[in-house]
Amino acid sequence: MLPVLAPGRHLTMVGGVSSATFLTMELPITRVGFSVGVSVDLQFLDEVISDGADPNCSDRYGQTVIHEVSRAWSVDVMRFFLDRGSDHLCSDQFGVTALHVASALDYEDMVRYLLVRKADPSAQTLLDQQTPLHYAAKNDAVRSIRLLLQAGACINCTDYKQRTPLQLAANMERSEAAQVLLELGANAGVKDSDGQLCITALIGRMSHVAQVALRQFHLTDRMTRQQYFYLNLLEPNAHTPGDDLPGAGISEPTTPVRQSNTNIVHRKQRTDQRLQIWNL
């Protein structure tokens, strides 16, 4: 069995070949702009894998060598194992993949490489059902957030409590991650399974970021010279006629543009009101 690699340790392998202790030689491994003192003998690893060692074997937590490589080793080491049959899509017993690990640590080069190798940005953990984007958001990993979204990750994906990455960032006071997610289009009008509004968490924990989020609840119509405020989205528990409609409350709009039919109705009402509350 090939155990998870860890910097500075001697590794033992069993499986297809007799037990052996890796006698390592010093090789500099560069990660995210700084060097980590680690040791690895890739030539010896290549020999034992060729002799039958399984590069996908796991420890008692279901983690393979790929999980450790994605945490603290260079992209070259990851490439070495993937070229020899390691599966970067496999998850541990908690559903955590290598992309989850690299995203949480904001290991930009590793995240980029894993995505090039078709790692799944929508993979969910088993218990909390969180994606790599959730892991990046709750760890303030802004570079990972941008890479994951560029690769097609859903910005408003939800976990087991219906929390989006933005809501996790707000709850855990990760202001940089929240700022980036808002800039890239995250919805601040959603609420989790407990009824907690994302915008409420933003206002309570990071007011400067909440000012950016509040723009989603305001529209200026230059043609009619009117301003529209989505005040009902700030108080979603208030009963409105739309609450009785099938599917009401399942998803809340971010901007008025998504409610074109309602816009037309209100634009026909030529009143002098500067403030209008829309029942979406």
Q: Could you tell me the maximum CA-CA distance found in the chain, to the nearest angstrom?
A: 86
pLDDT of 267 above 90: no
Dihedrals phi, psi of 20, to nearest 5 degrees = -150, 145
Work out whether strand 226-229 and strand 275-277 pair parallel, antiparallel, or are unpaired: parallel
pLDDT of 257 above 90: no
pTM exceeds 0.75: no
pLDDT of 177 above 80: yes
Confidence band for 38, pLDDT divided at 50, 70 and 90: low
105 contacts 141 by C-beta, under 8 angstroms: yes
Dihedrals phi, psi of 151, to nearest 5 degrees = -85, 0
What is residue 226's predicted lDDT score, i.e. its pLDDT?
87
Proportion of the chain above pLDDT 90, given as a percent: 57
Q: Which residues are CB-contacts of 45 (< 8 A; sequence separation ≥ 6)?
A: 22, 80
What distance in Å separates the CA atoms of residue 248 and residue 266, rounded to the nearest whole number? Answer: 20
Going by C-alpha positions, the residue among 134, 6, 124 that lies closest to residue 70 is 6
Task: Note the pLDDT tens digit of each residue in 77-123.
Answer: 999 999 999 999 999 999 999 999 999 999 999 999 999 999 999 99
What is residue 258's predicted lDDT score, i.e. its pLDDT?
38
Distance of CA 147 to the CA centre of its chain: 10
Confidence band for 235, pLDDT divided at 50, 70 and 90: low
Residue position matching structure tokens 């209008």:
276
277 three-class SS: strand
6 three-class SS: coil
171 contacts 201 by C-beta, under 8 angstroms: yes
What is residue 95's predicted lDDT score, i.e. its pLDDT?
97
More confident residue, 198 or 1: 198
Work out the average pLDDT over 133-157: 97
